[in-house]
Chain A
Amino acid sequence: MTTLTLDRINKFYGTLHILKDIDLKIGQGEFISLLGPSGCGKTTTLRCIAGFESISDGRIRFGERDMTNVLPEHRDLGMVFQSYALFPHMTVAENLSFGLEVRKVPAAERASRITRVLEMVKLGEFSGRYPRELSGGQQQRVALARALVIEPQVLLLDEPLANLDASLRDDMRFFIRDLQQRVGITTVYVTHDQSEAMVMSDRIVVMNRGVIEQCGAPRDIYERPASLMVADFIGHSNTIPGQIRGRSEAGYLVDTADGPLHAAGTEGLSGEVRVMIRPENIDMASGENTLTGRVTKSIYQGEDCLLMVELPSGAGVTTSVSADFSLSAGDPVTLGFPARKSWVIAA
């Protein structure tokens, strides 16, 4: 159990600068997700923490210990790989025993720890099976058990749910999170699935092209994205371009091609911006902010109707309405949304 500090990590691959000033302080027992599109550097960062990739500049610390030049096998971590990487020639029990044998844990204690962890992942009767006899979900849980049984300082997971069916993925998310909270282990979780990160994490680190775009609690990331990339990557968003004209009660007054908008935002913004509004905050009547336009598409989705609206300036807004509303293409609509739910992002 320890804190994890990434102190201005930089990594070059030849002349490619693939990690730029990655700076992160993770608290004891915290669950943070590294989230981003492929190629953003999240897996590379994880592998640097594990020691499988070297860093060109910066330091990695587990608590007070500087781990930057320490070999992976001496970092005392537990890692779950995307392919699970179970040892095919060993039974489940032997897989779990491996790390304990390396640490010279006596046989009796090994047995009891293995039994306990297998109970935790609900695979008690499977200790004598080989990985090839297990389903994908079961293999995943064995991989988790193997990483936890050694009681490491840090737990690293590299997109562990990517190869599972959708329904199993949902169950496993909660399972992993519950387990992590019970054990209280500092955890770094890599994923490209934003809903996964939202559900599981204490904090989310959104990465893009080797840089951290934003680091914060799920609510902060969702309601107050720091950049356009974060806004677009997490959930659905509508962003309307405009210019800051002045201050207002909620925060800023922004001039857009479709009229003035009041929105909240961080201090010190000016010039070209975008106003973000999430579909769920839009009503079918005028409000503090009002936009009018025409429906271009109305798509029945069962629980609601997806509405695509075109504004006079040509910009598009997406929102959803109750399925009872009978709106079709060509109908005029009025969209209203509160100022404090509108958020200004630097363009």
Chain B
Amino acid sequence: MSSVAAQIPRAISGPKHRAPVWWMILPALVLLVGFLILPYVSIVIMSFREASTRAVYGEGFTIAHYRDIVTDPFIWGIVWRTIRMALIVTVATLLLGYPVAYHLARTRSRMSSLLYICVISPLLVGLVVRTFAWMIILSNNGIANGALTGLGLVDRPVQLLNTQLGVTIALIHVFLPFVILPLLGNLQAINPEVALASRSLGASRMRTFFKVTLPLSMPGIQAGSILVFVLSISAYVTPAMLGGTQGRTMAVLVVQYLVDNFRWPAGAALAIFMALTTLAIVVVYLALTARAMRRLP
């Protein structure tokens, strides 16, 4: 402890006494470089290894796995299905999340703390728990079917578990807070007098929203949508629990390769492929929204 005392004080006292303080960041650097960055490199390496029937991987290196992925229609089917689902979830969470964030940013009621808890508590409750709740809701004698048959919209219970639809609905619920929080932060940062200025100039509330508030909330929209998209594509627990074989996604397939089939190199290649497709889509999205972002401070 005395060495700590010797190091910290001099650094805080100002530029004159530069004792070495880099040691403070060392453990974190070791953790992140050694146990995050390097491991990711090992995925790449693994994806080029030869497969083996007797061990998780064999001798030598090959690009066969990538070739297999790119030429396999089954895999493309799952890739496309996963991307489509992620896009639907992203759009849906934006449409549902924006009103909530807008309301929460402008409300002055004392309920606002409680409402904030309502927004973040699903995040903290755990993925398995939330997905389990959806299992209850979506099952054949669950609430969803109860409501549908009760309202007379269908004659018999609709199969919602083990379908893509069920997974999509559950993911929308799971990721809604991830879109609300960045939007909320952004909306709260906008000077409230700007909206008043717009109205004083004659713009209706609708026009004020579309011409002033919405453009100024683009950073929040961008951040939230990217976050939800990436989370949706790589989601494992929810598709695994709710999707069955119909609702299988890329992440579920990868885990299957690794854990069930012990095909580590192939699994690694698929994982890299998943990461690259996600990255490509995000880059395209950033490029498309760059114009709207350029005007902003």
Contacting residues, chain B, for A130 (C-beta < 8 A) = 295, 297
Distance to closest chain B CB from A96 (angstroms): 10
From B197, B205, B215, give the contact of A79 (CB < 8 A).
Answer: B197
Q: Which of A73, A85, A89, A156 contacts B215 (CB 8 A)?
A: A89
With A98-B211, A102-B207 already in contact, the answer to whether A72 and B194 are too (CB < 8 A) is: no
A210 at the interface (CB under 8 A from B): no
Find the A residue at minimum CB distance from B294.
A89
A83 to B190, CA, bound (A): 12
Mark A145-184 against chain B: 1 for CB-CB distance below 8 A, else 0: 0110010000010000000000000000000000000000
Structural contact, A73 and B297, CB atoms closer than 8 A: no
Chain B CB within 8 A of A116 CB: no
Question: Interface centre among A78, A85, A89, A132, by most B CB within 10 Å?
Answer: A89
B196 to chain A: which residues have CB within 8 Å? 50, 52, 72, 79, 81, 85
Most buried by A among B202, B203, B204, B215: B202
Which of B191, B211, B296, B297 contacts A85 (CB under 8 A)?
B191
B59 at the interface (CB under 8 A from A): no
How many B residues have CB within 8 A of the partner chain? 21
Which residues of chain B (197-239) have a CB below 8 Å from chain A? Answer: 197-205, 207, 211-212, 215-216
Contacts of B204 in A (CB 8 A): 71, 73
Contacts of B198 in A (CB 8 A): 87, 98
Q: Which residue of B lies closest to A132 (CB)?
A: B297
- B296–A74 CB distance below 8 A: no
Residues of B within 8 Å of A89, CB to CB, are 215-216, 295-297
B199 lies within 8 A of A72 (CB): yes
| Interchain CB contact under 8 A, B202 and A79 | no
Indicate if the CB atoms of A73 and B295 lie closer than 8 Å: no
Of A52, A82, A88, A102, which contacts B201 at CB under 8 A?
A: A102
The reply on B72 being an interface residue by CB < 8 A is no
Q: For B155, what are the chain A residues with a Cβ–Cβ distance below 8 Å?
A: none
A147-B199 Cα distance, complex, nearest whole Å:
12
* Interface residue? A76 (CB, 8 A): yes
CB contact list, B258-297 vs A, under 8 A: 295-297
Return the 7 tightest CB-CB contacts between A and B, nearest first.
Answer: A99-B201, A85-B193, A79-B200, A85-B197, A102-B202, A81-B193, A89-B295
Which A residues are within 8 Å of any B CB, using their own CB?
50, 52, 71-74, 76-79, 81-83, 85-90, 98-99, 102-103, 130, 132, 143, 146-147, 150, 156
With A85-B197, A86-B194 given, name 18 new contacts (CB 8 A). A50-B200, A52-B196, A71-B204, A73-B201, A73-B204, A78-B201, A79-B200, A81-B193, A87-B194, A87-B197, A87-B212, A88-B296, A89-B295, A99-B201, A99-B202, A99-B203, A102-B207, A156-B200
Please, could you name 9 A-B residue pairs with CB atoms under 8 Å apart, sorted by A? A73-B202, A73-B204, A78-B200, A79-B196, A85-B191, A87-B194, A87-B197, A103-B202, A150-B202
B residues lining the A interface (CB < 8 Å):
191, 193-194, 196-205, 207, 211-212, 215-216, 295-297
